[in-house]
């Protein structure tokens, strides 16, 4: 059952971020990593969800990057929500 949950989570992540468009494709990969870390550590501080200082630092760099905006992050979520409502 745990493997099925992990597969379902990955499908959900794909739906949520497929429509997100970033200036650099690597930013989309970083968003996926962050979503997985935050998903596995729901309710935890970023430092605990990321587990290691290097991952925590990368998370803060991503979230405060001038190349990443709120719209960039949420666009995929909004598109996925529209698809679910149809």
More confident residue, 55 or 2: 55
Rg over CA atoms, the chain:
13
- pTM (2 decimals)? 0.76
**Does the structure show a pLDDT above 80 at 14?**
no
End-to-end CA distance of the chain: 29
**Does the structure show a pLDDT above 60 at 4?**
no
What pLDDT was estimated at residue 8? Answer: 66
Mean pLDDT highest for which of 4-8, 39-43, 50-54, 67-71?
50-54
Parse the chain into domains and list their residue ranges: 2-85
**Does the structure show a pLDDT above 50 at 11?**
yes
Q: Mean pLDDT over residues 13-24, rounded? A: 79
Check if the beta carbon of residue 46 is closer than 8 Å to that of residue 56: yes
């Amino acid at each position: 059952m745990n493997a099925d949950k992990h597969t379902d989570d990955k499908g959900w992540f794909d739906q949520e971020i497929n429509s997100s468009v970033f200036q650099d494709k690597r930013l989309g990969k970083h968003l996926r990593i962050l979503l997985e870390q935050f998903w596995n550590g729901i309710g935890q501080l970023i430092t605990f969800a990321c587990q290691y200082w290097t991952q925590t630092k990368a998370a803060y760099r991503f979230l405060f990057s001038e190349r990443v905006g709120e719209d960039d992050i949420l666009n995929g979520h909004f598109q996925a929500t529209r698809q679910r409502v149809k």
